Each structure stands twice: as structure tokens, then as C-alpha cells.
Structure 1
Amino acid sequence: MNLFIVEDSPYIQNRLIRFVEELPDIHVVGVSGEVQAAYAAILASDTEAMILDVQLSDGNGLQLLKNIKLSNPEIKVVVLTNHSTEANRVQALRAGADGFLDKSTDFEQIPGILHDWQQPQLSPNLN
């Protein structure tokens, strides 16, 4: 799975990269801390999944989420934020997020979420 990280903190960027590098068959194809640069890079790459922060240096990650889902609804997105208010959670899910995590308490859930996304969906045998 090709993963793009949208996070403006270099510390969190590096932590996520190290975290994901230990997971089999997941490749970080890009990292950006800015909405505009991330949008262009995601559309130009073969991104299949994203880890997305809400507050970015040049804008709101939820607007980026909406734009990405309009352009490519197949991209899976987990929002990872320090701003884990109920309002942000609801907005993220309405914008198309496939998951919503709090950086301070849910960081360890990322491998499980990415692993689940890698598994092919089992369809019933219609024969």
C-alpha cells in the first residue's frame, strides 16, 4: 500500500515514517506539511492511503480531505490530530475520513488500521 503523510510537525512526520517503515508492504510515497503541496503530490502519485492532520501550516486538513475524496474517493484516509474535538470528528467523517484518531491517545492504532486496509474485502460466493 502506498501511503502519503500530511503532517506539519517534523517530529510527528519522522515518528510516523519510522512507525510505518516497520510494517510490511506499506510504502511512504510522500510527506507534506502544506495543504496545496500535499494535494498536488497526492494526485501525482499512486497514493492509496493517507494519514492526515487537521491543522496544517497553510490551511485546514479537512478541506484537503474533501478535495482528495472528490478527486479520488478510493484513497483511504485516517485523520490523526491533537484537535480531536467532537466537532472535528464529525466534520472529518462527513468529509469522507475512514478513521479519526487522537495523536495523544490513539497513535498505536495506526498499524492495525493500515493492516485492515491492506486486506482484500471478502465477498460472498454467489455461485
Structure 2
Amino acid sequence: MVHGGRILIVDDHPVVRRGLRTMLEGEPWVSEVFEAATVAEAVTLAVTERVEVIAMDVTLPDGDGVDATGRILLSCPEAKVLMLTMANDEEIVVRALRAGARGYLLKDTDPDAVIDALRTVAQGGVVLGPGIGPSVLASLNRAPAELPAPFNQLTARERDILGRLALGDTNARIARHFGLSEKTIRNQLSGIFAKLGVADRVQAALLARDIGLGG
């Protein structure tokens, strides 16, 4: 039995946070529950409150829950993160697990199963929802290819976005694919263009295709 669990719920929907909080506060292994609605709040609370378990959404107003997971685990390596999201995308699952998440569940999972998953993660286990196929595990076992400069300056998320750009996707389609806002994608692309030293999406797409991204 786990005791003294300090839990952080990261979600921009108050109803989701409140519902999960109500269930968690009735669990004997939970000592305190904190809430965050943004990446910034999540990183701050995780560090200052020394939380042990985090239920993390992927799509947040100021960024990406996967990137937030990586930032939190750099400062709090003992924290256990369970991704709890509507984003049913194997690429995001792989990114989340590579970032250090201990599990990935969709929000339409039965609420009792979500609480069980958080308890399992708190005990050091790993939880993957029933929709997570063997291809995800195969992707995890493959070492990421080393990219030439300047592409090696890009984060995993930036490489993913650039790959979609190279396929000809619009900002709107890229945003839908990753469960992010178009504004977030525009900001990410500006950063990508700066790192690659290009002026626009056409130049970025051509360079990406030259090295096989989006092929």
C-alpha cells in the first residue's frame, strides 16, 4: 500500500481537475492533491510542493504536457507522471514515454481505472491503456536516428512538427494532429525556422526532405 501520496493534477479544464480531485481525496494512499492549469503552474508546483505523482494532460494553454513532463523530471527525477489525455496518437505516446512518463491513458477511461493507474504509477509500475499497440513498444526500442546539424538542435517535438510540414500539412492540420492550438504551432515553427536559418516553411520543408524527414 502506498502512503503519503502528494498528487498534482495538470489539466486546463476545471471540471476534469475537480472530478479527479474528488476521487483522489477519498483514497487512503493520497495525502494531498494540487491542481495546475498550465505548464508554468505545473512546473512550479511540482518543484515547490515536491509532488510524487502527476496526472498530466498533453494539450495545455501555454505549451505541451510532454515537454512539461521532461522539464519536471529534470528537477524532480523521483516524480511519477501518468499522461491523461484525449490525444490518441502513437507518436505522442512514444514521445511521452521517452520523456519519462510512467503511463498513458485516454480521458474516456473508466474513472476507477484512472485512480488504479495513478496508484500503480505511484508504486513504481507502468500503465499503458488498452489502445496502446505493439508498434509503440517497437518504436521505443528503436534508437532515435542522429540528425546532422542544424537539425540536431531541434527538440523531438520540433522534429515531429517539421516532419508534418515536409509532408505538406497546413498549420491547422499539424495542430489537429498533435492536439495543439494553431498559435502554438506557429510559435514552434518560428523557433524551427530560426534554428535552421531559413526564412519560411518552403525552405524548411525542402531542407527536411533532403535529410529524409517527412518522407
Same structural fold, with TM-score higher than 0.5 when normalized by the shorter chain: yes
| Identical amino acids, percent of aligned pairs | 34
Q: Among residues 6, 25, 28, which one is paired with 2:29 in the alignment?
A: 25
Structure 1 stretches of at least 4 aligned residues deviating more than 6 Å after TM superposition: none
Matched, 1:45 2:45: no
TM-score by length of 2: 0.52
TM-score by length of 1: 0.86
- Offset at 1:75? 0.3
Q: What is the match of residue 90 of structure 1?
A: 94
Q: Which one has the bigger strand percentage?
A: 1
Q: Give, in whole Å, the separation in 2 of the partners of 1:118 and 1:31.
A: 17
Q: What is the match of residue 4 of structure 1?
A: 8
Q: Which of structures 1 and 2 has the bigger CA Rg? A: 2
Q: For the Cα contact (< 8 Å) 2:51–2:79, is it kept in 1?
A: yes
Q: Give, in whole Å, the separation in 2 of the partners of 1:91 and 1:29.
A: 26
Aligned in 2, Cα 1:19/1:29: closer, same or farther, shift over 3 Å?
closer
Q: For the Cα contact (< 8 Å) 2:7–2:32, is it kept in 1?
A: yes
Q: Among residues 52, 58, 64, which one is paired with 2:68 in the alignment?
A: 64
Matched, 1:109 2:113: yes
Q: Give, in whole Å, the separation in 1 of the partners of 2:120 and 2:81.
A: 13
Q: Give, in whole Å, the separation in 1 of the partners of 2:36 and 2:70.
A: 17
Whichever residue aligns with residue 27 of structure 1, its letter is S
Query: Is there any run of 5+ residues in structure 1 with no aligned partner, and where?
Result: 122-127
Q: For the Cα contact (< 8 Å) 1:7–1:33, is it kept in 2?
A: yes
Whichever residue aligns with residue 66 of structure 1, its letter is G
Q: For the Cα contact (< 8 Å) 1:78–1:101, is it kept in 2?
A: yes
- Offset at 1:34? 0.6
Q: Which has the higher contact order (CA 8 A, sep 6+)?
A: 1
